[in-house]
Amino acid sequence: MSDLSPADVAKRAAALRAAEFVEDGMRVGLGTGSTAAFLVRRLGERVRDEGLRLRCVPTSEATARLADEVGIEVVALDEVGWLDLTIDGADEADGELSLIKGGGGALLREKIVACASDRVVIIADGAKDVAALGAFPLPVEVIPFGWQATKRLIEEMLVGLDVGGREVVLRERGGAPFVTDEGNRILDLRLQRIGDARGLALRLNQIPGVVENGLFIDIADTLVLGFEDGRVEVRDLSGAQGTVPFRDADNVFSDLAD
């Protein structure tokens, strides 16, 4: 019936539910990653089938290409000035809607776009819901110049902090350093557990050479979690939450033949 893995079924379920928050005429920030890609494709369907008028700011070149392919109008953030809504994925989310993001390497643009939005909706599969942040390596974007010195400063800063590990690794792709859309590098901090995410975020951004870190604190307003059976759970900062099934289980797979 489908080539989607159980994890992708969950991601797609969350993306389809979050797409319902988008209304005609909105200025929308589009996230980066596999979950966000399901959202972009769904919004492309709505543009085509419903005549939905959107002006969208992508958080990466990959998202911009996909949005253009599916017929979504892509604009620069400076062109629209401010956004009504941003929908993006996350690598981890805790009960306070604090996040780790940046697994796709777009954390700088993602944070700028999210902070320039009236509302931020995070979409993820249920496995990203955690009691405490830190099992997923924390990405830190650094400039290329003197990155090894920056790495050493980060390692020294981590000594004495309430974290479970202190390994700092340069992210690579294909045997070469990973390069962000802004031409920077990514250091992945393998911390295992973060005791004080807010304090760590502030201290990281005080280190020379650090551009931004992947801790998103007090940014997300709503979390939409998808599950392998098609259920979707929506949580927001007010503490309200609810779990709803798809009206039609076939909806999870309805566009696979396109």
**Which pair of tokens denotes residue 129?**
């819901």
The reply, when asked if residue 105 is annotated as ligand binding, is no
Q: Are 112 and 181 in contact (CB under 8 A)?
A: no
The reply, when asked if residue 81 is annotated as ligand binding, is no
The reply, when asked if residue 134 is annotated as ligand binding, is no
Alpha-carbon span 64 to 22, nearest angstrom: 18
**Which pair of tokens denotes residue 140?**
């830190």
The reply, when asked if residue 34 is annotated as ligand binding, is yes
Between the CA of residue 214 and those of 20, 141, 151, what are the distances in Å?
Answer: 27, 8, 15
The reply, when asked if residue 11 is annotated as ligand binding, is no
The reply, when asked if residue 183 is annotated as ligand binding, is no
Residues involved in catalysis: 110
The reply, when asked if residue 103 is annotated as ligand binding, is yes
Q: What are phi and psi of 148, to 5 degrees?
A: -70, -35
The reply, when asked if residue 91 is annotated as ligand binding, is yes
The reply, when asked if residue 33 is annotated as ligand binding, is yes
The reply, when asked if residue 104 is annotated as ligand binding, is yes
Residues placed in the known binding site for substrate? 32-35, 88-91, 101-104, 128
Residues placed in the known binding site? 32-35, 88-91, 101-104, 128
